[in-house]
Structure 1
Amino acid sequence: MTSIPITPPTQFGRRRLMLAGAALPVLGVAGLSGCGTPLPLALPGAPAHDPAAERLLQQSADEHGWAAYRQLSDINVRYDGAWRPLIDRIQPVVVDKGYRGWSEERLMPQAGVVAQAYTGPAGRKHVWWQRGDGSAQRRGEVAVWYDGQPSTNADAQTASALVAEGYGLFLLGPLWLAGQGHVMQMGGNARVDGRACRVVQVWKRPGLGRVALDRVAVFIDADLGITRRVQFTLEGFANTQGAVAEVDTFEHQRRFGVLWPMRSYEEVVHPIRLPAHDWHITGLDVNRGYDAAALRGPVFSGAAAAPAAKV
């Protein structure tokens, strides 16, 4: 196991953001107005694919362990973390704070499957998600259970699909995007927590959840080649359309040949800037050998059931 440390956001910086957020009106994204999104989905004319951007993203995927990742049949991870003030009041359905505390999560990356078993102060939530192709005929399959009972709430299902696909992206970064045939362009240079980065813009089809398109900006360390940040649109749920968020990753460790972000931090950056979520990996193992049926709710079964191995 190897570690690649990076300084997380300072407590002063987080405090300043929380104080700024405290003065904001408590509204959904649809009720906010402001300057244009930093990640517009549409550009003048269709975005042209730049092979140089694709090569840079693939190089980052290689640094994250692309060859080893392609050999993973399943990924088993346990998270713990904390929600930041106000975010659950602005986006209560997406956050679902009463149920989204610590979680056991299972991914079958080659099948586009993410399943999540949450435990929070209000009870248990189980999510099954399998990515579609973004068409109206195959928008992806999602199912949600609360305390063992299936939910028919359309908003809960749609928001859960967005979150599940998002957490595949947050955990795996360039590995989740490479080799998918996405249109990519170079996006200039930026700094992330003091590190110089090169940016690759990705038009992700399908998007995050049951939506045809989202845009993802991938911030790649100019020296080390690893992905430090992903910035992304949230078109997959009506109340977050037009919003942009970002996730920074820290304390990377290489296990099973793959580089994992052991800590992550999320902020909303448009139409307002607001801290959202801190979380960290507390358990991780791979290749148990179960099939997708073991991940469907209301609970994990068979080889998927045991907790992720403690790290």
Structure 2
Amino acid sequence: MTNSHAMASRAISRRTLLGALTLPWLVGGCTTPLPLVQAPANDAGAVSRLRDSAEAHGLAAYRQMTDINVSYSGKWRPLVGRIQPEVVDEGYRGSSQERLLPSTAVVAQAYTGAKGNKHVWWRRGGTAPNDAGEVAVWFNGVRSADDAAQQAAALVAEGYGLFLLGPLWLNDRGLRMQSGGTERVDGRVCDVVDVWLSPGLGRVATDRVALCIDRGDGLVHRMRFTLEGFANTQGAVAEVDTFEHERRFGVTWPMRSFERIVHPIALPAHDWRITGLDVNRGYEAKEVSGPAFTGAAAAAATPV
């Protein structure tokens, strides 16, 4: 192939890729790796496998945690910011302080970026049909009425609970599960447990998550999931790999994580790491409700 032909081919490929990214995520949905079929009856083996993994992650200690305080730093890949601007929200989503209250299903996030501060309050919905959860978003102290910003924020907040805690986030929720075979993750042989997540990630009835559980240490090293909670990501599937796990406060935490899109295209998305962590300060949900953290929730997470 001549240089001119090669350059033309690359240009066509780039135009084809960028064109595909403007199409709805549901294009090619029939071949999605995590079809949202009706949840099957529980597989007792899958339930047991996820429970064993939760115990390996520190289930007993986690159940004693009233609050979890985390800080992150990270970097989004530029192309993802172009195709999913509401999710990435690059002007505000730089470093973050995050507060989780497991018993009340609350996640609150305080971001700092080039455009200023963003605060997110999220409470996961319950099993009742009319309980879609609660979400509120503030930009530089002003509450937003933008529905897209709220929906994207709810998806992200619930997702970060899952990414941080894996099976601990799922174990006690009575979810439907099935065994999904085996998969290798960075050379590790992992058992796959498919979970029908209801409610899903954000203000949506259902998502599906596949957890890759290491046969050796019982830890989850990969999570693959649908993204039905936001209109512009419906039909997409992404996955997060976790690394550099450390035991602190009786729980094993993924100190570094990497996210990629796997459907309908393969695309690296986001790298981040934990920069601060502490637990059990003893505050209430109202202290993280926005537009800023107050009281015992206000101090930055203890650096690690």
**Normalized against structure 1, the TM-score is what?**
0.90
Instruction: Report the Cα offset of residue 124 of structure 1.
Output: 0.7
The structure whose RCO (Cα within 8 Å, separation 6+) is larger is 1
> 5+ unaligned residues in a row in structure 1: which ranges?
1-19
Measure, in 2, the Cα distance between the counterparts of 1:31 and 1:55: 34
With over 3 angstroms needed to count, the CA separation of the structure-2 counterparts of 1:295 and 1:194, relative to structure 1, is: same
Partner of 2:303: 310
Measure, in 1, the Cα distance between the counterparts of 2:191 and 2:202: 27
Partner of 1:150: 143
Partner of 2:89: 96
1:30 matched to 2:18: no
1:53 matched to 2:37: no
Instruction: Report the Cα offset of residue 85 of structure 1.
Output: 2.3
Aligned residues: 290
- Higher helix fraction (1 or 2): 2
Mapping for residues 135-174 of structure 1, pairs under 5 Å: 135-174=128-167
**SS class of match (2:17):** coil
> What letter is aligned with 2:225?
F
RMSD: 1.5
Alignment check: 8 A CA contact 1:29 1:239 kept: no
Partner of 2:245: 252
1:240 matched to 2:233: yes
**SS class of match (2:179):** strand
Question: Residue by residue, what CA displacement relative to the aligned partner does 1:223-262 show, whole Å, maximum 9, x if unpaired?
Answer: 1111001100000001100000000000000000000000
With over 3 angstroms needed to count, the CA separation of the structure-2 counterparts of 1:116 and 1:252, relative to structure 1, is: same
Partner of 2:37: 42
Instruction: Report the Cα offset of residue 30 of structure 1.
Output: 1.2
With over 3 angstroms needed to count, the CA separation of the structure-2 counterparts of 1:22 and 1:28, relative to structure 1, is: closer
Instruction: Report the Cα offset of residue 133 of structure 1.
Output: 1.5
Measure, in 1, the Cα distance between the counterparts of 2:65 and 2:129: 30
Measure, in 1, the Cα distance between the counterparts of 2:228 and 2:57: 27
> 5+ unaligned residues in a row in structure 2: which ranges?
1-12
Alignment check: 8 A CA contact 2:243 2:255 kept: yes
Bigger-Rg structure (1/2): 2
1:261 matched to 2:254: yes
- State the 4+ residue runs in structure 1 displaced beyond 3 angstroms: 20-23
**Normalized against structure 2, the TM-score is what?**
0.92
Instruction: Report the Cα offset of residue 193 of structure 1.
Output: 1.3
